[in-house]
Each structure stands twice: as C-alpha cells, then as structure tokens.
Homo-oligomer: A and B are copies of this chain.
Amino acid sequence: MADVHRISLNTATVREQWTLSQAIEGCQRHGIRAITPWRNQVAEMGLAQAARRLSDAQLQVTGLCSGGLFTVPGGQRWNTMIDDNRRAIEEAATLGADCLILVVGGLMPGSTDLESARGLVEDALHELAPYARQAGVPLAIEPLHPMYAADRACINTLGQANDLCDRVGDGVGVVVDVYHVWWDPNLQSEISRAGKDQLLAFHLSDWLVPTTHLALDRGMIGDGVIDLPGISRWMTDSGYEGYFEVELFSTRWWQRDPDEVLTTILTRMNNAI
C-alpha cells in the first residue's frame, strides 16, 4: 500500500479541466503533497509566480515536464534545441523540481536511421549534463514505449537509458513510467541496475485491454493489466524512496470531474499499489 503522502500528481492527468493554479488548489484540497507541472502551464502562469504558488502550497515538485527533443540536425537548430533545454533546466531549478523529465525525440524527419537518432540523444546529454549538475537538477531520461520510437523517443528500454547514464555520468538518471516499460523482460534487473541514485521518478498509469488510441488511452491505475504492486516492489527493493506519480493521458478521464479523478487516484493507490 502506497502512503498517500507519497503520491504526486502529474498535471497532464487533469490538463484538459484544470489550469496549474486549479491543479495546485486541487492537490491541497485532496491532501496531495507533490506535483509535476508541464512547462507550458508554468509559462502560462509565469515562472516566478508558479514558483511562489508551489512554494506557498508546500508542494514538492517531483519533476518538470519536459525537456528533450534532441533529435534535430546540427547547426542553428541544434543550438536552439540546446538553448531551450538550458532554459528548461533553469526553470526546473527555479521551481525547486527534483528533476527535468526528458522526452528525447524520435527519428529525424524523413530519416529511418534509429542509430543516428540515438547518437544525437547521447550527444545532447553530454552537452547538457554539466548545466544540469551546476543547476542541481538531474536530467531524467524517460524510455518511452516502442510504439513511440518513430515520433517521440528513440530510447525505448530502461536498459538503453541506463547505458546512457553510464556513458554520460553525473547529472543524468532515469524515470520509470510503468506504461512504457511494463512489458520488458529485463525490467526488474534494469530497475535494480539503476539503483537508488539513478531512479529519479516513478510514473504510474495502466495498460487497458483493448487500447483504442496509441497516445491518449492510458488507463486509471487498477483498470488495466500492469502489475503495479510488483513493479512498485522492484522500485522499493532497489532503494527508491521517492514519490508515486500518477500520469494519465486519457480522453476518457479528461472528461471527468477532476476532483473525482483525484479521489479515484487516492482510492486506487490505497487498494492497488
């Protein structure tokens, strides 16, 4: 059973109903003590104001979503991408976020060269890790489900993310999102390999059967087939002491009363994890 005090709300879960301001108030109303906002919401509120509101609400900022999109050609577009990621690191530092979540990017437009895309991710991490170290905000590599390899993230297993951490060194770690990695036969061993220092965040949702949309049909925890207690145990056994963050992209749940969504999350976390 997950302690309610260890639940974090990723604001994507209620993004169609609530602004960041409303999400902060929602967390307070429901006793949720941690949150991961998205950059566009922070920008909408204004960075300084967002930092103040989150601090006043005594919310732990378990991450900022998201940096990444590294798979661009060189030259000006590369520099623009690096600059944007440096800003994201600074924003995360201003918010006191535990990490910057990375969606690393898929294939370059018109390309079928996965290996080169993966090389660009590594190049960008090498370039950004010093800024992350300096800012005290680790970069959290998120392996995405292989069904997103082409258009969102070419890092698709926790093993690949751990390999990158080994090669880049301090300043990077991983986020384990069960939706992306639950199927991986090496999941337990790779969670263990990442270990306490590298396990920066833990994202929860569920895999529905059937799944009707590749991006926007994630299930509420407990409604699907992912072994949430088992994976949670692997995290805990590997020394993870952070939050259990709920992140749903779901056109179904975006149509519900967001207070009901939060109540459901709290109930399910008590029962399912």
Query: Which listed segment binds B: A44-52, A57-65, A74-82, A208-216?
Result: A208-216
A157 beta carbon closer than 8 Å to chain B: yes
Chain B residues whose CB sits within 8 angstroms of the CB of A151 once the complex forms:
209-210
Contact B113 A185 (CB under 8 A): no
- Bound Cα distance A225, B146 (Å): 13
Q: Which of B111, B183, B210 touches A149 (beta carbons < 8 Å)?
A: B183
A19 beta carbon closer than 8 Å to chain B: no
Contact B149 A227 (CB under 8 A): no
A273 beta carbon closer than 8 Å to chain B: no
Contact A147 B107 (CB under 8 A): no
Chain B residues whose CB sits within 8 angstroms of the CB of A210 once the complex forms:
151, 214
Render A181-220 as a binary contact track against B, CB cut-off 8 A, 1 for contact: 0111100000000000000000000010111101000000
Chain B residues whose CB sits within 8 angstroms of the CB of A146 once the complex forms:
145-147, 183-184
Q: 15 A–B contact pairs at CB < 8 A? A: A111-B225, A112-B227, A112-B228, A112-B230, A114-B182, A114-B183, A114-B227, A147-B147, A150-B183, A150-B207, A150-B224, A154-B183, A156-B183, A159-B185, A211-B214
Size category of the A interface is 20 to 34
A33 beta carbon closer than 8 Å to chain B: no
Chain B residues whose CB sits within 8 angstroms of the CB of A225 once the complex forms:
107, 111-112, 150
Interface residues of A in 70-118 (CB under 8 A from B): 107, 111-114, 118
Render A116-136 as a binary contact track against B, CB cut-off 8 A, 1 for contact: 001000000000000000000
Q: Which of B118, B147, B182, B207 touches A185 (beta carbons < 8 Å)?
A: B118
- Looking across the interface, which residue of chain B has its beta carbon closest to that of A215? B210
CB distance from A23 to the nearest CB of B (A): 28
